[in-house]
Structure 1
Amino acid sequence: MTRSTCLGTAERLVASHCELGEGPGWTPATTTLPARVRWLNILAGELHHAAADGSDHVITQLARRTSYAALTLEGDYLLVGEGMLSRWNPETGAVEDVMPFEADAMPATRSNDARVDTHGSLWLSSMGCNAETGAGSLYRLHRGKLCKLMDGLTIPNALCFSPDGRFAYFTDTVTGQVMRWPLDADGWPLKSAGEGSASEGAAGEYNAPEVWADLQDCGGGPDGAVIDADGHMWIALWGAGRVARLDHDGKEIAHAALPVSQPSCPLFGGEGLSTLYITTAHEGMATPDHAAGDGDLFALDLSAHGFKGLAEPPLVLG
């Protein structure tokens, strides 16, 4: 197992008791709403919001299992849900369906990881409801058009992007490897010369991604990830009780520890984007330890180390 510098142990911030906490995001303050951290309890169809310090915890019950809430340019959210993408207005609570998402595959698949890229487009994934081998796919929602990028995945996770927009990263958790995918100037995976516009391609026509980080011996499965202001990746290691910081070569150089074993996804938020928020889960546990915080939201202030995150690009739908 890789040994690296421990930056500290994250503390429980919100006792949210999520079976599968996932999809954290940071919503900056507006003229009507304060800055807040948001996350999902996928299997329960719950959208959670809380203040930066964990206070004012609010749970919104959604109509379907939902894995991500992308903040749009207009200030509402695109919900990545089981069988449907929909828009949610945080001020009125109104929900409007936008387009089906693998609705023809229900109830065999559900949505999983998602992240907005540097172009304001949403990358999102699906997986089998019971993690069936090869049932998952990877998509990009660009200006209202949904395009499949890859299929044959099992648990697609760790969607994130280099600060300059030249690379996308993802993992199929069961492989223990993080992949890097070179992108063109419009944010699409590169294609071989003479194959036409990448945006017009179907799954299987893009150049294959390359193995960037091998985490098979890290003690856990690579799950959700985020890129910091230095271009380094922070990736949750499901089962290992830590979030690893990987350098530009994919090597673990530091980590944040947790008192629970199943971290699912990290996020930078708070003042100066220097707090690392971490969702966790108690999915699959015979006897979850709620006293320790299985399924809760954790946080670690990294300002003393000089680490900070990047602001999330808003999703551009039109």
Structure 2
Amino acid sequence: MIFDNRPCDLGEGPLWHPLREQLFWFDITGRRLLTQAGGQAQDWTFPEMVSAAGWVSRDELLIAGQHGLFLFDLGNGQRQPLVALEADNPVTRSNDGRADPQGGFWIGTMGRNAEPGAGAVWRYWRGEMRRMFTGLTIPNAICFAPDGRSACFTDTVTGRVLRVALDAQGWPVGQPVAWLDLTAEGLNPDGAVIDADGVMWLAEWGAARVAAYDPQGERLRVVNFDAPHTSCPAFGGPDLGTLFCTSALQGMDATARAAFPAAGMVFAAASGTRGQREYRVEIGAAAP
């Protein structure tokens, strides 16, 4: 079903805030943060592109902007710069991101025109910003195993999802390895989230669906949505059993848009499982 009917050019970054019991998401190219609670819709517009968030407190989000992370007060709309993100590189912007079990925040960057190899994956943790992986084109699918011992991400253009081990503080150990290969099917892995049982729910751009894969990479089921460009899922609702999914109008011509009038909207479906509670970002020494 349609959860929110406001179309986004590039819907992304859904976040279920566990204290507010409220879904937030972004329209990256529209430079908007959107939300809906109790049937009331709200949005904020920013001077730059915004793409992903983590929660810090009931009223404060950490938001990934075009060239930096900042704290955003949902009550008064005030923002406070936290740390730069490729601020000296006019080619790139932020993309997919998510908080990890250790309280860090992973964020991918990419070229504004998907320039090959221009992107990277960074991690912010307790005041430190560190670049971990480079040479990526469209980093996506940042998500974490429930035990906090591994992370996954993808470079969408490769068709493969990678997995990397994490140490006790949440930093990568060794090199990422290919965990899921979708190249034979021509599928494009986009945003992803891992549920409480360790199953990955992966949005497949261009395929109008979110697919669930077990820890061994076997496809368990598919949830279809009425939008070709499904971009990122999130679990929410009182029991974390609702699967939300953002979508995008980007890349659709007039004929495609007429065929899929719900494209760009946010969808919701019963998942039959339970998601992980979204982790709190620990600001640490950099807190105001």
Query: Shared topology, TM-score over 0.5?
Result: yes
Matching of residue 220 in structure 1 with residue 220 in structure 2:
no
Amino acid at match of 1:78: L
Give the alignment partner of residue 215 of structure 2, picking from 230, 239, 248.
248
- CA separation of 1:263/1:247 partners in 2, compared to 1, >3 Å: closer, same or farther? same
Amino acid at match of 1:23: G
Name the Cα RMSD after superposition. Answer: 1.3
The Cα shift of 1:74 comes to 6.6
What residue in structure 1 maps to residue 263 of structure 2? 294
CA deviation digits over 1:32-91, x for unaligned, max 9? xx5211100001110001127xx2111111121000121114740111010121111001
What residue in structure 1 maps to residue 10 of structure 2? 20
What residue in structure 2 maps to residue 144 of structure 1? 127
Give the alignment partner of residue 309 of structure 1, picking from 275, 278, 281.
275
Amino acid at match of 1:259: D
Matched residues in 1 for 2:41 and 2:186: separation? 32
Amino acid at match of 2:249: H
Q: Which runs of 4+ in 1 moved over 3 A?
A: none
What residue in structure 2 maps to residue 41 of structure 1? 27
Secondary structure class of the residue paired with 2:157: helix
What residue in structure 2 maps to residue 5 of structure 1? none
Matches within 5 A, 1:194-273: 207-273=174-240
Give the alignment partner of residue 85 of structure 1, picking from 60, 69, 72.
69
TM-score by length of 2: 0.95
Matched residues in 1 for 2:170 and 2:59: separation? 23
Percentage of matched positions with identical amino acids:
41
Contact kept? 1:73, 1:316, Cα under 8 Å: no
Matched residues in 2 for 1:144 and 1:91: separation? 24
CA deviation digits over 1:245-295, x for unaligned, max 9? 001111211010111110000000012000000000011112252663110
Structure 1: 5+ residue runs without aligned partners?
Answer: 1-10, 191-206
Secondary structure class of the residue paired with 1:86: strand
Contact kept? 1:219, 1:240, Cα under 8 Å: no
Matches within 5 A, 1:97-136: 97-106=81-90, 108-136=91-119
Number of residues of Structure 1 aligned to a counterpart in Structure 2? 282
- CA separation of 1:87/1:149 partners in 2, compared to 1, >3 Å: closer, same or farther? same
Matched residues in 2 for 1:208 and 1:254: separation? 29
TM-score by length of 1: 0.86
The Cα shift of 1:16 comes to 1.6
Structure 2: 5+ residue runs without aligned partners?
Answer: none
Amino acid at match of 2:179: W
Give the alignment partner of residue 244 of structure 2, picking from 274, 277, 280.
277
Matched residues in 1 for 2:199 and 2:191: separation? 14
- CA separation of 1:74/1:275 partners in 2, compared to 1, >3 Å: closer, same or farther? closer
CA deviation digits over 1:200-236, x for unaligned, max 9? xxxxxxx221100111234530000000011100000
Matched residues in 1 for 2:170 and 2:68: separation? 24
Secondary structure class of the residue paired with 2:33: strand
Contact kept? 2:160, 2:181, Cα under 8 Å: yes
Contact kept? 2:211, 2:220, Cα under 8 Å: yes
Matched residues in 2 for 1:85 and 1:130: separation? 21
